[in-house]
Amino acid sequence: MRRALELAAHGPATGVNPQVGCVLLDATGTVVAEGWHRGSGTPHAEVDALSKVDTAVGLTAVVTLEPCNHTGRTGPCSEALVTAGVERVVYAVSDPGPTSAGGAARLRDAGLDVIAGVLAAEATEFQRAWLLATKLGRPFVTVKWASSLDGRAAAADGSSQWITGTASRQRVHEQRAANDAILVGTGTVFDDDPSLTARGDAGELLAEQPLPIVIGERQIPGTAKLWDHPRGVLETGSRNLEEILTWLFEQGIRRAFVEGGPTLASAFVAAGLVDEYLIYLAPKLLGGDRLAIGDIGVTHVGDARELRITAVEHLGNDILLVARPMTEAGH
């Protein structure tokens, strides 16, 4: 199963489909084939592995996710495993999808031996974003901000470039590329005129670009840099975050990166719609009232939004804190 998870990581992290890996074993436990999913419209991991053997009769399939049981752009993996003559299927995590789930039951009905939950915790953590998005019916939301040690996102005159150093800024570009969409408010577009592209060290465009989404009721200027974005730009014309996220999920967006300033970040936090926080801290003191986060509905310290820090990383002279809510959304 650990090998299957390694294979799964070869697949794209963005897009509608999960990252899935599959290992086929013979009766002696020897690996005879491996496969992984390479993106929407390509063979799923199980089918990819099956295509590499002359016969799969009597084999065991070890898969990171319960084999799907529906026909989308490809056929159901459960049927492919049954037809191929696989004897046993071992998987880590159940598929939470309302249409794709049910593969385990189909396999058992066909007489296959099915074992679930192997390395479930590791596989759930690996696929956390996709699993949570599928369960909630909205994209996995990451909120990012950069601030001084005293929590300021800008100086008294409004200047904010650059609070953090080059290493932090490059990491942000990599994180942009790891998401399907990047969300900003109209205020950020009017005030900062960002390009919101994902760029490399030399300023070149990375292969993966998030779709810019502008949240707010105002139309952005025709001269905004966002109109030159390689993916174009989508204006929501709305501030209803839950409706926007539901619609984005329906459009195939599974990972949303919020990089829109204190107003938008605070709105997501207040609404309880944040699944992951990326907080860049620069060893600077700015003072003043330009806080990285504004009112989130907390009036008493006992009502504070409790977070759990999952990683700490040094980037040059800065620190990146990765955190998540103590209570996962949907639990």
Spell out the domains of the chain, with CATH numbers in brackets: 2-126 (3.40.140.10), 138-325 (3.40.430.10)
Stretch among 95-104, 178-187, 195-204 having the lowest mean pLDDT: 95-104
Catalytic annotation present for 259: no
Per-residue pLDDT, 66? 95
Does 69 or 73 have the greater pLDDT score? 69
Per-residue pLDDT, 265? 94
Residue length of the chain: 331
Three-point CA angle 201, 206, 207, nearest 5°: 155
Does residue 162 have a cis bond before it (omega within 30 degrees)? yes
How confident is the model over 201-224, as a mean pLDDT? Answer: 92
Round the average pLDDT of the chain to a whole number and report it.
92
How confident is the model over 173-196, as a mean pLDDT? Answer: 92
Where in 216-317 does DSSP place strands (E)? 234-235, 255-258, 276-282, 307-315
pLDDT surpasses 80 at 160? no
Per-residue pLDDT, 280? 95
How confident is the model over 43-55, as a mean pLDDT? Answer: 94
How confident is the model over 127-147, as a mean pLDDT? Answer: 95
How confident is the model over 48-68, as a mean pLDDT? Answer: 95
Does 72 or 299 have the greater pLDDT score? 299
Radius of gyration of the chain measured on its C-alpha atoms: 22
Three-point CA angle 146, 150, 153, nearest 5°: 35
Determine the number of helices (DSSP H) and then strands (DSSP E) in the chain.
10, 13
Q: What span, in angstroms and rounded, lies between the C-alpha atoms of 57 and 201?
A: 50
Per-residue pLDDT, 331? 52
pLDDT surpasses 70 at 72? no
Per-residue pLDDT, 328? 75
How confident is the model over 51-73, as a mean pLDDT? Answer: 90
pLDDT tens-digit map of 268-319: 999 999 999 999 999 999 898 889 898 989 989 988 899 999 999 999 999 9
How confident is the model over 50-55, as a mean pLDDT? Answer: 95
Per-residue pLDDT, 106? 92
pLDDT surpasses 80 at 329? no
Per-residue pLDDT, 158? 77
pLDDT tens-digit map of 78-102: 999 999 999 999 999 999 987 777 8
CA contacts within 13 A on the Cβ side of 319: 11
pLDDT surpasses 60 at 46? yes
pLDDT tens-digit map of 131-140: 999 999 999 9
Active-site position among 6, 34, 46, 174: 46
How confident is the model over 165-175, as a mean pLDDT? Answer: 92
Return the structure tokens found at 305.
């939004």
Per-residue pLDDT, 73? 67
pLDDT surpasses 80 at 15? yes
pLDDT band at 330 (very low <50, low <70, confident <90, very high): low
pLDDT over 70, % of the chain? 98
pLDDT surpasses 70 at 125? yes
